[in-house]
Amino acid sequence: MSATPVVEPISLALGAEVRAVDLSQELSQETWETIRNAFHQHSVLIFRNQELAVEDLSRFARAFGEPVIHEHLLPFTVEGHPECMLLHNNAEKPPGLNSWHTDNSGWPRPPLGTVLYAKITPEIGGDTLFSNMYMAYEALSRPMQELLLGLKAVHDVKKAFGSDYGTLQRNLRKKGIDPDEHFERYPAVEHPLVRTHPTTKRRALYISGPYVTHVSGLSPAESRAILDFLYRHIETNEFIYRHKWQRRDLVLWDNRCTQHLAVADYFPRERLMHRLNIAGEAPFLDR
Ligand SMILES: O=C(O)CCC(=O)C(=O)O
Ligand SMILES: [Fe+2]
């Protein structure tokens, strides 16, 4: 029998720490319900000091949905666990991710959530920032909300894995995968700029800088102006929680209503994370 977890908000924007739970153990249905409810309420969950094997991480992810196996990331997964990616940076592999995004928005059905587990953390640096996209939407004026509700953005995997993700490109080439050829197979997709969260039913702003090429139906100048405004808007301090990692932290975030940014400030120190994506559905807007 597991004790009832304690859920404590960790910032006014989003995020809660979940205490008194050991994720290496079998948890009761009630405990999972508490965790799932906390996830929907706080969008980012933090579990400190968890000693977890890859099997434990997979079981955790499965409590929310099916773990995603990414073809292009197979060379960077734990052997025997194609669902568990390795994010490893050190003196030979400088950190590359350094921009706000929501994961894999260039796919028709982006993952609903991501699990990140800290194996090795630099003594200082390597924080991850999270921004609340419900707040970002709700803070807009009514006319701006009305405008965005009628718009869709084009998300393209080829854009994300071009210039913005130079490190991944290089690493793929090292593994014998030609990124241009590989990503040619993925057509660009259109997603609403504002999406309804399928569980909470709340509306959230849905953009992702590395993937978005333009807003459909606008002139290039209009699209640029709206996107520039929104990219600045999501960086509003009041929407943000900044996570300082400790070894054995597990963080789960909701890609449907948050964005995140991994600060690439710790070179040449080492940072190693285990990462899983949880399958999601096509973004939609209920009007
Ligand atoms: O390494 C991090 O803190 C987050 C990296 C990231 O963007 C991700 O895992 O999706
Ligand atoms: Fe990410």
The per-residue pLDDT for range 203-246, each reduced to its tens digit, is 999 999 999 999 999 999 999 999 999 999 999 999 999 999 99
Residue 284 is assigned to a structural domain of this protein: no
Provide the domain limits for residue 82: 6-278
* Dist. CA 8–CA 17, nearest whole Å: 5
Kindly tell me if the per-residue pLDDT of 163 is higher than 60.
Answer: no
Residue 260 is assigned to a structural domain of this protein: yes
pLDDT digits (tens, 9 = 90+) for 8-36: 999 999 999 999 999 999 999 999 999 99
* Dist. CA 184–CA 186, nearest whole Å: 6
**Cα radius of gyration (the chain):** 19
Residue 1 is assigned to a structural domain of this protein: no
Reported as half-sphere exposure (CB side, CA atoms, 13 A), residue 13 has a value of: 22
Rounded to the nearest angstrom, the distance between the alpha carbon of 3 and the centre of ligand 2 is 32
Residue 164 is assigned to a structural domain of this protein: yes
Residue 232 is assigned to a structural domain of this protein: yes
- The answer to whether the CB of 103 is under 6 A from ligand 1 is yes
Residue 283 is assigned to a structural domain of this protein: no
CATH number at residue 106: 3.60.130.10
pTM of the model: 0.95
Q: Which of 154, 284, 157 is nearest to 226 (CA)?
A: 154
Catalytic sites, residue numbers: 101, 103, 260, 275
Residue 286 is assigned to a structural domain of this protein: no
Q: What pLDDT score was predicted for residue 26?
A: 95
Q: What pLDDT score was predicted for residue 2?
A: 59
- The answer to whether the CB of 260 is under 6 A from ligand 1 is yes
Residue 146 is assigned to a structural domain of this protein: yes
Using 50, 70 and 90 to split pLDDT, how confident is the model at 181?
confident
- The answer to whether the CB of 7 is under 6 A from ligand 1 is no
The number of domains in the chain is 1
Using 50, 70 and 90 to split pLDDT, how confident is the model at 250?
very high
